[in-house]
Structure 1
Amino acid sequence: MSAVTTSILTRDEISAYARDFVPKASAAGGPGILTQDEIDAYNRDGFMVPNYRLDPDTLGRLAEMSERLVDWNPHITDSLFACPHMKSGGHRNLKTEPGWMDFATHPDILDMMEQLIGPNIILWGATLFYKTPKEGPATPWHRDARFLPITPMATTSVWIAVSPCKKDNGCLRFIPGSHQRKEVGSHRREQRDDLIFNAGTLDESEYDESTAEDVELEPGQMVFFDIFTIHGSRHNKGNRARAAYSMRYIPSTSHYDHDANQYKDVEAFQNHTRRLYLVRGRDVCGLNDFTKGLE
């Protein structure tokens, strides 16, 4: 599959976005952006779309950088542009540029993250997911907890729509409440060219797909979800690319153990190479090593 961009967002779309943009105020009666209903929804369902969108300048910059990242890295053919925020380009040897950490340290995103996981926050990963039109691969049902050397197991991801993310081009899908028992679940490897990764497909006995919820997003919208929440996405059968930037955070009460990666044989999951970044507060557990991994 070729990873050549068609415009992720056109200038006309960005101009229209800027014209119609209305800034989100703080949550009523509180210092944060999220309302209590949104926090309750996250805790109940394992995912939540806040009433918030990136400002036009930030979205425009993210869209431009996403297009350049895809165009500069034709060797990435599976849609996973992992670690563009690392100077080295991470384990996938991306050609990248400065500026990706600006999104990871965006004050509004960290404020919302703090409302969900507390004031001491570590970024451990970031990935641009880019599905080409007509042929973009599917993401199998899975739990992210299956892949990670984190103790206690905790991560909240924020997945930002860079393009429109709709049913026809492979928006994210979630099984509501599937995080509640905090189970990793049974995953199997599948050697299929039409999947975004082959290292973990959740056993069908562990979920009821009829309960799945499609989360369609406009550019600049985002969904927060828990590490144990079952999620996936269909193939991109639409006429335009589907692009989204995901950033993954742990509360620093958890330990990210670079030496415990059990997937060193899987190219897409080289967790021992990931650099940790303390983006807010302090390292509470005192065990996280901010010198390990690639620069």
Structure 2
Amino acid sequence: MSLQARMTTKKPVTPEQVEFYQTNGFVQVDNILTSEELAELREITDELMSMDNDTLHHKPDRQSLYFKVLNQRVNVWRDHARYGKYSFHPRLAEAARLLLKTDAVRFFHHHALIKNPQDSKPTAWHQDFPSWPIKESGAMSIWIALDDVDEHNGCMMFVPGSHKVGKLKPHDLTEHIDLEDFAKGTDAEKRNPVICRMKAGSCTFHDGLTFHYAHANNTDRPRRALAIIYYQDGAAYDGKAHLVTDGYNHPIGEPLAGVLHPILARQPLAR
């Protein structure tokens, strides 16, 4: 059964998952993809990662230290048309809308992510939101595992409730920082992180302010994932430099919208 068919039979997340997300700033959702969809997404991810030409958007610098943290392609739907099926999938976006408890969510950008086998570095503790050019909080990511993940090949870790701490200063993801140092002086300093081991085709959602980390990949196989960033309709553009908004002529302080940021899910909430 396709994701679209499944949309008509039940909601993509349960009320318990919504409340868990609201309280903790993240939630794991198992089997968000069917086996057929997982196979297709793996295939097109491998195709995309094998491309190495000047037409690619945000082509990675393979000599950089960052490449050892993440080998990624940003806004991959613009380089590989079949990605649009997943980039803008209504069921994934509807899950985001329900978790955010909002009327509508827009697409900000997405990226295919690989931690290379035996050669990767951990992704340091950080928040996503400080680097996004969006004024209001409430933006979030879905992180879809295309391979089984655990602490040996780059699974994610989250600090429960850390999204309520507020926005911290961004830092270089290639620089190691312990959670104790990153969270120092906040209410999250002594909280224990949660390791999200998952089967391929499952996912996590996390708030842009939630503290998170990804282990290095110490196995002989690549760890593949797809991340999509959503934000609440009406959130304003703050003018911050960002690789996705290079060349924007969008008024600072006005809602971030336009053809590159479509509404993907809309349903007025009961008031």
TM-score of the pair, normalised by structure 2 = 0.76
The residue that corresponds to 1:73 in the other structure is 52
Alignment gaps of 5+ in structure 2 = 54-58, 262-271
Distance 1:191 1:178, change over 3 A: closer
Distance 1:168 1:120, change over 3 A: same
Distance 1:45 1:108, change over 3 A: same
Displacement of 1:85 in angstroms is 1.5
Give the alignment of 1:181-260 within 5 angstroms. Answer: 181=165, 183-189=166-172, 203-205=182-184, 206=186, 207-208=188-189, 211-257=192-238, 260=239
The residue that corresponds to 1:47 in the other structure is 26
3-state SS of 2:168 partner: coil
Displacement of 1:60 in angstroms is 1.2
Displacement of 1:190 in angstroms is 6.8
Inter-partner Cα distance in structure 2 for 1:248 and 1:68: 22
Structure of higher RCO (CA pairs closer than 8 Å, 6+ residues apart) = 2
> 1:135-170, CA deviations, whole angstroms, 9 ceiling, x for partnerless residues?
112211001111011121221211100111111001
- Partner letter of residue 63 of structure 1? R
C-alpha contact (below 8 Å) 1:161/1:218 kept by paired residues: yes
Inter-partner Cα distance in structure 2 for 1:291 and 1:248: 16
Distance 1:274 1:24, change over 3 A: farther
Residue of 112, 116, 119 corresponding to 2:99: 116
Inter-partner Cα distance in structure 1 for 2:126 and 2:161: 14
Inter-partner Cα distance in structure 2 for 1:85 and 1:110: 16
Displacement of 1:46 in angstroms is 0.6
3-state SS of 1:140 partner: strand
Inter-partner Cα distance in structure 2 for 1:124 and 1:45: 23
Distance 1:82 1:274, change over 3 A: farther
TM-score of the pair, normalised by structure 1 = 0.71
- Partner letter of residue 212 of structure 1? P
Displacement of 1:240 in angstroms is 1.6
The residue that corresponds to 2:14 in the other structure is 35
- Partner letter of residue 231 of structure 2? I
Distance 1:99 1:273, change over 3 A: farther
The residue that corresponds to 2:141 in the other structure is 157
Inter-partner Cα distance in structure 1 for 2:213 and 2:221: 19
Displacement of 1:289 in angstroms is 4.1
The residue that corresponds to 1:8 in the other structure is none
3-state SS of 2:258 partner: coil
- Partner letter of residue 162 of structure 2? S
3-state SS of 1:243 partner: strand
Alignment gaps of 5+ in structure 1 = 1-17, 87-95, 263-268, 276-284
Residue of 83, 100, 108 corresponding to 1:100: 83
Inter-partner Cα distance in structure 1 for 2:131 and 2:168: 11
Distance 1:274 1:154, change over 3 A: farther
Displacement of 1:124 in angstroms is 0.7
- Number of aligned pairs? 237
